[in-house]
């Protein structure tokens, strides 16, 4: 059984990537966790959005799609 936790994070622009990395670190440390994250950032270009989601350890496109199932 899993719990769904809904969070709206108001994060300063300078900390956007750090917040996403924090979620990725938690995800990597705890197998079985799965995050679905949306970012409302109308001020960013597509290239900047892609850069924001470059996290360590990285997920491949296939891993991302498999998690959605």
What's the pTM? 0.65
The domain ranges of the chain are: 13-67
pLDDT of residue 67: 61
Collect all residues with Cβ–Cβ distance below 8 Å to 22 and sequence separation of at least 6: none
Query: Is the preceding omega at residue 57 within 30 degrees of 0, hence cis?
Result: yes
- Cα–Cα distance for residue pair 7/54, rounded to 1 Å: 21
Residue 21 has pLDDT above 60, yes or no: yes
Q: Is the pLDDT of residue 65 over 60?
A: yes
The yes-or-no verdict on residue 69 having pLDDT over 60 is no
Over residues 23-60, the pLDDT tens digits come to: 888 988 998 888 888 777 788 888 887 777 777 777 77
């Amino acid at each position: 059984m899993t719990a769904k936790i809904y969070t709206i994070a108001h994060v300063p622009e300078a900390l956007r990537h750090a917040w996403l990395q924090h979620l990725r670190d938690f995800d990597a440390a705890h197998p079985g966790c799965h995050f679905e994250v949306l970012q409302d950032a109308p001020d960013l270009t597509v290239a900047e959005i892609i850069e924001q989601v470059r996290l360590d350890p990285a997920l491949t496109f296939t891993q991302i799609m498999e998690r959605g199932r």
